[in-house]
Every structure is written in structure tokens, then in C-alpha cells.
Structure 1
């Protein structure tokens, strides 16, 4: 396997388009209704605990975690439950969703009181009660991650390496107090002696602010990271911040995790959300979203109730720019995000961006034949060989795909970005990984 470069030196030199970084976050007016899916996290979906006609408030639990690897879901608005019905998500998956008609009052549920935290067990209970997941994109339930033992380093992922997205940047500039209180609680109750806050160097104001705030905090340091995508990928982040290399295969025989080398990673907005919950008792019910692109009238960061439809977010940002023909809506960043078939999907806990591009900007170049230049291999932060994996997938060669570790692909898109032939390399990798995992579940050999 190609491993001549460190993970931190791989990836792609994507443009650092961060036009909204200097704009304070706006708060969206309460929409007329929200649609809140019961699956906004990795793991088992939550089970609805409300019924049609029920009155709910901000912070009312409407979905209980469906297992240990799951998360509670809360109402982001006050109003009346209109329906509980199946919903096809923007990624094509089916789930159950709770539709709520808002009353505009945004009355907070009296049950939302700050939790009492005295040790690790009560901290983990508070994290579960918050409904907290990795809001940077992965959506992994945070209490599961923090339950790991033998952790000596807390890594705060503030890289925000995707073009356009500036939600974490604004969190650092606007909510630094709850970032600090969240870090303090995790370090204290999980008995983690060391914390590194990793921030890409294109955010000097964030580096300066958090450096000044943590100067007297024992065991905490702020580290400027190279401006190279995907600097925020967890294995890349571990290597850049600590010099440790997460093994390709962990002790369990599954892909290695940061915990295998003594690290646990939290997104900077995730740890800030925990800090807010410990202070107010209000769970995760809102999301800051970067709305950007050449087709949106008023690009901005906007705080919206979770479950707000893309359509309503777009309207709150002035709608599509006059005289522009909309070509594509992307949820997330342009590298790892996906294209939405319409604007009728809800904002989830882990959605950071909503990008609107004109037909001209969204037009894809015509791909040409692969010239086997190897740039996809050089770019892959996981040391994979996309050009070879594509051939193995074409041959439906399970053994070869296993040997090439296709399951380690993190879908970062660096291979596609680096390809001079403009081939859909990342998409092919995704298909190959999906086929391999399906065959694996069937006992493939």
C-alpha cells in the first residue's frame, strides 16, 4: 500500500473560501413547522414518545434513544405534533419523523434544568440527556466516545477544513466561554490530563482568542494546523496534533480508532454545546448553518431550529439570487457534502452547510480516460489506491478489495479533486466500499 507520505501531508490544497467568517451569526425567525427525523446519528434510531395532537415545547423529548449507540431527540420548537410518519432522508434512507406545527412562542420546557455532574458517570448521563452527537458531520453519539478508558489526550477538532463552511469559526468567536467550560468538564470528569485544540492557520483570530483564554489552563494547548484538506479527518488530526499514528486495523480487528492511541476527539461546536447544556439544561435543538454559494441572495451563518426545511432556511437568506438559475443544492461542504434533489428536507443535528450554486457553477467537467498518473494515491489521506480499487471493484473481486482495505475509505473526496482526468473517483470508491461491506455482511470471501 502507498505510504510514502504522512497523512498530514496528503489530501488536497483546496481553496479556502470563507467569505462568511467575519459575519456574526443571524437567528432565523421561527418557521411555521419543522420535521424532526428520529435518526440524526450513527446507530439505532430514536423511538418516538409523542403522538399526533400532543403539545410540545422547546426541549421536550420526542424521541428516546433506541440503544446505547443512539441519542435522544428533542423538539426544537413549541407547538403541536401534526404527524408521525415515515420520511425519506436526503441520503435516501428511510426513517420515522415527527412533524410539528409551531406556535411562534418558543416556550422552553420546564424540565430543561442544568444537570448535576459530580463524576464521569453523571457527565456521561448529562451528555446523553443533551442528545449530543458529533455535530461536525459524523453524527456519532458523544457519550459512547467519552465512555472510553485509558484516554490521555482530548483533541478538539476546530480545523473546519471544508471550503465555504465557517460555523465552527463563528462558534469560537461567539461562544468561547462554553467551549472552555465544556473542555474543563470533560477533562475533569473523564480524568484526561491533556487537551489540544487544533485550528487551521487560516483562522488566526480564533487561534489568538483561544490561546489567550487557555494560557492559564493546565494541560491545554492550542495548535495551528496546516491548511490542507482533510486536516479535520480524525486520523489526520491525531497525527498532526500528537505525532501518533492510528493503526489501520485496531485490536478488535476492525479499523483503528483514535482511542487505540489514547485520544478522543470532539468537534469544537460539540464541546461548546455540552458547555451550554451544563449551564442551561437546554438540549441540542438548534444548529448554526453556513448558507453560501453564488446562487444565494444573502450568504450568512444562520442559527435555525433543528428540523427546519432547507426551503425555509433559503427563504430566510433572501432566496435564490435574482436572475440566477439554481443548479444544485449541497448539504454540507463541497468536498464531503451531498446534492439534495429538492429543498424539502430538514436540517439535522450534524448539518453545517447549505450551499446553493448556479447551473454554471454546478456544471461538472466531462471526464476523460484514466492516465494512471497516481495522483489519487498521493492525495488519499488513508494511503489507499483508488485507481487499483476501481479495477478490483469492476471485477467484483472481494478478496482484492479486502487486501486493498477499501473499508478504510473516509469519502473525503481528495482523490476526485486531485484527478486531472476529472473522473468521479470518490464516487467509485464509495460504490466499491458499499459493495464490499454488503458482501462482508453476507459472509463474502
Structure 2
């Protein structure tokens, strides 16, 4: 085990937006409440959409699989309540726009299921991966990639460094911070399972220096544990900077290794998992609990009682606002699923909470600024801010001129759309919008 509070690591580039984390972190965790109905999209992840396993009128139990795909690159979805299926049709989806979804009306005679430590011992790597797949685990940091796929290491590859991402660099969001505060022991147990699975030479917990209490919370528990694996974990303190929580940025800051263009972290022997995912691994492997609820941050300058809320997956934002009594100081002009830098604006509140929903922001005109794009002045601020050493201004230029073939040579696919370039651009060029357009066109060409 190691921790050095004076040597703070970071990466080249990045920005320092207003973080606004004090709005929600000062409030206690709001306990779970059961919605009268849920809407569960069959597609909540990157990869093949699920097919429904139930039909209208069926009674389902909490934790029951209600959608599944035969594809390996997919994760099943479960009912988060006891109730009756009232419909299977296309509903609004915060990422896809629309997705086939299963609506379930809650059985009000039933309370939420209690999950206790399972007596079934996990005996092999295959058992761990099967539980993670069966219980529908996906990345909890926002991307929603399938955890079992990421952890299925090809025979010709190996992981010598495992990094647990507790950076939470997006402004406003504090759900990971709260989870680390409340569930430190359980997170460590999830990390222990991941270590048993991957057998890395080194394991790091990465935390930004604006979460100082978390350094010592993990350190104290690791000192007192009987597990040598946990005692050997290193806590890596990172400078607070956006986008510090990106996989490639974490790897560069902590190990000095650079993931080559067009490659994934596994190419340099590294694997990154979110702190929330480690907690979900603990719940799946030790409690036999599917990913049916999570902590999300409700924040923004319009929210009167901002904080972190434990919610059921599939609950709509409107029902959550009503059920938890979320109040507003004044009218909001925009609703964002996720953080302000990489989140997605939604047009109304009839939107379901997904497995990968980290937060919802209600923002006023103060944060909704419409700028008129002007000519690039070639100041290179976007290049300096880019955490991956890309050329953002060239992306915008080539998309405008429809030079699609040149975009691939500029490694546009490596862009994580963090928005740092747009944030610093004095000409107010919406570079990320051009990047999205360029990627979309290239995907169509490849089909």
C-alpha cells in the first residue's frame, strides 16, 4: 500500500472549468424510494440491443431478466421492481432518441427485495465473469460498455496494471464521491474480486485531490485488512483537472504509458474500471444482485435540494422529481443527463434513468450561452487543451470542407469528445459538434 499526498499526478493538456461540486456533496444521501412504474429500455449500452423475454400482462419479479441478447457484446436488463408488464413499445431514450422499452407497473403489495451475502463461493474466473454478465453490469462512469467483455482478456494479452477510476472530473457530479464515502469497504471487496480475476502486478485507486478524505478512508481500511492483495494497492493522487478521469489520461498520469492512436488500454497492459463498477461487481458476486439501482447526482444552479439519490433503474426523471420532492429555486432552461461537459441535453422529464446515468443537471440561462461562431484565428488553444495531443481545429476544418478521408488520418476516432477544445476556443467554434458529424459520416462510409 502506498500514498503520497505531495506528489500529485496529471497529464498534458486539459482545462479547469467551474467544478460546482459543493452544491450536491454537502447533502446526505437520499434513500431509495419505489416508483409506481418503470420504463426499462432494452438498449442501455454499446452493442447489440436486447430482445424482450416477457410480454404484456406478464408478472415479473425484482431482479428478473426481462431482456437479453445472444450476442457476447451485450448485457441483459432486469426489472428493478415487482410488477406487471403494461407495454413493450418505443419510448424516449436519453442517448438513442428512441428505444424499444418495457413498461412495468409496480405491485404495491411488495416492498423492495433484500439482498444478503450469498453462501455460494466463487470458485473460478469463469464464475466471476458469468455473474458479471448475468447480472447486467456495464461501465458506471457514463460510457456503459459491457463489464464482462472488458474483463475477458484475450489469451495473447495480459493486464499488469489495474486502475480504479475515482477521479470524477465532470463538474457538478458527486455520485462517485458519495459512493466512496458510504461504501468504502464494499468497493474494496469489489476491487479484490477484480484483482483475483485479472491478477495484475499493480493496482491503483485514482482520486483527484478535491476528495482528500477519500485518500485516508481507503488507506485506513487497507491497513486493517487481512488481505495482502488489498494492502498492496497504491492510492494515486491526481491534480484536479478536466478530463482527468479519461482512461488514456489516467494511464498516462499514473504509469507514464501512452496508449497508441487507434488502440485500447489493453495494448499497454492496463485496464481501467470505474469505482461504481467495482461496487456493482461486489453486489453481483457477493449478493447475487443485478444492476437495478444506482446513486445519481441531481444538481445545477436551479435545484433547491441538490444531492445524491439512490434510485431504481427505469424510473423516469419526472417520477423521481415528484417522488423525492425535488424542488427548484427558479425555472430551468436546460436538462442535461450526465455532466455539463460530455452530458446530453434532453427535451423533457419523461426520460428513464439508465444503468449508466451518473447525474441529471437543471441549469439556468447562466450556463446556457449561445455564441456565434467566427473564423478560426489559429491560436492553437484547442491543441494545447486536448488531452490526447490531437488537432481539434483540423477536425472542424475538414468536416466543413467535407474532406472525410483526411479525418481518419487525423485520428478523429481517438477523440473522446470531452469538450476541452470548444471550452477554450476564443472563436466559439463548436468543435465537438463537428467531431460528432465527422464520426457519423465515417461510420456510414464503413457500412
TM-score over 0.5 for the alignment? yes
* Post-superposition offset of 1:218: 4.2
Q: Which is further off, 124-133 or 59-68?
A: 59-68
**For the structure 1 residues 59 and 222, does the alpha-carbon distance in structure 2 shift closer, same or farther, using more than 3 Å as the test?**
same
Which of residues 313, 319, 322 in structure 2 aligns to 1:315?
322
Aligned to 2:6: none
Q: Is the 8 A contact 1:186 1:192 kept in 2?
A: no
Q: Which runs of 5+ in 2 are unaligned?
A: 1-8
Q: Distance in 2 between matches of 1:290 and 1:380?
A: 27
Answering whether residue 17 of structure 2 is matched by residue 30 of structure 1, we say no
Aligned to 1:53: 57
Q: Is the 8 A contact 1:130 1:274 kept in 2?
A: no
**For the structure 1 residues 7 and 22, does the alpha-carbon distance in structure 2 shift closer, same or farther, using more than 3 Å as the test?**
closer
Aligned to 1:191: 199
Aligned to 1:96: 100
Which of residues 134, 139, 145 in structure 2 aligns to 1:134?
139
Which of residues 135, 145, 149 in structure 2 aligns to 1:144?
149
For 1:247-326, list aligned pairs within 5 A: 247-248=260-261, 255-322=262-329, 324-326=330-332
* Post-superposition offset of 1:90: 2.0
Answering whether residue 428 of structure 2 is matched by residue 422 of structure 1, we say yes
Q: Is the 8 A contact 2:15 2:385 kept in 1?
A: yes
Moved over 4 A (4+): 109-115
**For the structure 1 residues 394 and 7, does the alpha-carbon distance in structure 2 shift closer, same or farther, using more than 3 Å as the test?**
farther
Which of residues 116, 123, 138 in structure 2 aligns to 1:118?
123
Q: Is the 8 A contact 1:58 1:106 kept in 2?
A: no
Q: Is the 8 A contact 2:163 2:204 kept in 1?
A: yes
Q: Distance in 1 between matches of 2:114 and 2:328?
A: 38
For 1:20-419, list aligned pairs within 5 A: 20-104=24-108, 105-108=110-113, 116-148=121-153, 149-215=157-223, 217-248=230-261, 255-322=262-329, 324-419=330-425
* Post-superposition offset of 1:160: 0.1
Q: Is the 8 A contact 2:92 2:99 kept in 1?
A: yes
* Post-superposition offset of 1:17: 1.5
CA offset digits 1:246-295 (Å, max 9, x no partner) = 111xxxxxx21111111111100100111122222111100211000111
Number of aligned positions between the proteins? 429
* Post-superposition offset of 1:113: 5.4
Q: Is the 8 A contact 1:246 1:261 kept in 2?
A: yes
**For the structure 1 residues 418 and 78, does the alpha-carbon distance in structure 2 shift closer, same or farther, using more than 3 Å as the test?**
same
Secondary structure of the corresponding residue to residue 11 of structure 2: helix
* Post-superposition offset of 1:8: 1.0
TM-score by length of 1: 0.92
**For the structure 1 residues 67 and 7, does the alpha-carbon distance in structure 2 shift closer, same or farther, using more than 3 Å as the test?**
farther
Q: Which is further off, 155-164 or 47-56?
A: 47-56
Q: Which runs of 5+ in 1 are unaligned?
A: 1-5, 249-254
Q: Distance in 1 between matches of 2:117 and 2:41?
A: 21
Q: Which is further off, 230-239 or 59-68?
A: 59-68
What is the aligned-residue RMSD (CA, Å)? Answer: 2.1
Q: Which is further off, 343-352 or 99-108?
A: 99-108
Q: Distance in 1 between matches of 2:76 and 2:440?
A: 28
Q: Is the 8 A contact 2:208 2:238 kept in 1?
A: yes
**For the structure 1 residues 408 and 285, does the alpha-carbon distance in structure 2 shift closer, same or farther, using more than 3 Å as the test?**
same
CA offset digits 1:385-414 (Å, max 9, x no partner) = 121121111121122112111111111111
